[in-house]
Amino acid sequence: MNAAVLLLAYGTPDSVTDMPAYLLDIRGGRETPSRLLEEITSRYQQIGGRSPLLEITRSVAGRLAEATGLPVYVGMRHWCPYIKDTVEEMGAAGVESIVAICMAPHYSTLSIGVYRARLDQAMESVGRPIAVDFVESWHTEPHYLDGIAANTQEALQRFAPDERSGVRVVFTAHSLPESILALGDPYPQQLKETACLVAERVGLAPGRWDFSFQSAAQTGTPWLGPQIETLVPKLAHLGVKNLVIAPVGFIADHVEVLYDLDIGVQRIARAAGVRVERTPMLNDSPALVNALASVVCDRRRTNLARGG
Give the residue from 167, 145, 164, 172 showing the smallest Cα distance to 246.
172
The 10 Å CB-count burial string (b at 16+, else e) for 223-240 is bbeebbbebbeebbeeeb
User: Do the beta carbons of residue 175 and residue 224 sit within 8 Å?
Assistant: yes
- Distance (Å, whole) CA 189 – CA 212: 13
- Distance (Å, whole) CA 262 – CA 266: 6
What residues form DSSP beta bridges with 131? 97
In the CATH hierarchy, which top-level class contains the domain 3-138+286-305? Answer: alpha beta
- Distance (Å, whole) CA 131 – CA 99: 9
Give the residue from 151, 137, 7 showing the smallest Cα distance to 67.
7
Put residue 97 in one of left, alpha, beta given phi > 0 → left and psi -120 to 50 → alpha. Answer: beta
- Distance (Å, whole) CA 158 – CA 116: 40
Number of residues that make up the chain: 308
pTM of the model: 0.95
pLDDT in tens, the chain (308 residues): 699 999 999 999 999 999 999 999 999 999 999 999 999 999 999 999 999 999 999 999 999 999 999 999 999 999 999 999 999 999 999 999 999 999 999 999 999 999 999 999 999 888 778 999 999 999 999 999 999 999 999 999 999 999 999 999 999 999 999 999 999 999 999 999 999 999 999 999 999 999 999 999 888 899 999 999 999 999 999 999 999 999 999 999 999 999 999 999 999 999 999 999 999 999 999 999 999 999 999 999 987 777 65
Amino acid 53 reads L
Put residue 207 in one of left, alpha, beta given phi > 0 → left and psi -120 to 50 → alpha. Answer: left
Spell out the alpha helix ranges (H) of 6-82.
19-26, 34-46, 53-68
- Distance (Å, whole) CA 199 – CA 153: 10
Give the residue from 225, 212, 214, 137 showing the smallest Cα distance to 178.
225
pLDDT at 307: 67
Task: Give counts: helices (H), strands (E), the chain.
Answer: 11, 8
Using CB atoms within 10 Å of the CB of residue 5, give its burial: 0 to 12 exposed, 13 to 18 middle, 19+ buried.
buried
- Distance (Å, whole) CA 68 – CA 103: 16
pLDDT at 308: 58
In the CATH hierarchy, which top-level class contains the domain 142-278? Answer: alpha beta
User: Do the beta carbons of residue 198 and residue 145 sit within 8 Å?
Assistant: yes
Domain ranges of the chain: 3-138+286-305, 142-278
Same fold, 3-138+286-305 and 142-278: yes
User: Do the beta carbons of residue 47 and residue 259 sit within 8 Å?
Assistant: yes
pLDDT at 126: 85
pLDDT at 127: 77
Give the residue from 219, 220, 235 showing the smallest Cα distance to 268.
235
pLDDT at 303: 77
pLDDT at 220: 84
H or E stretch at 195 = helix 187-202
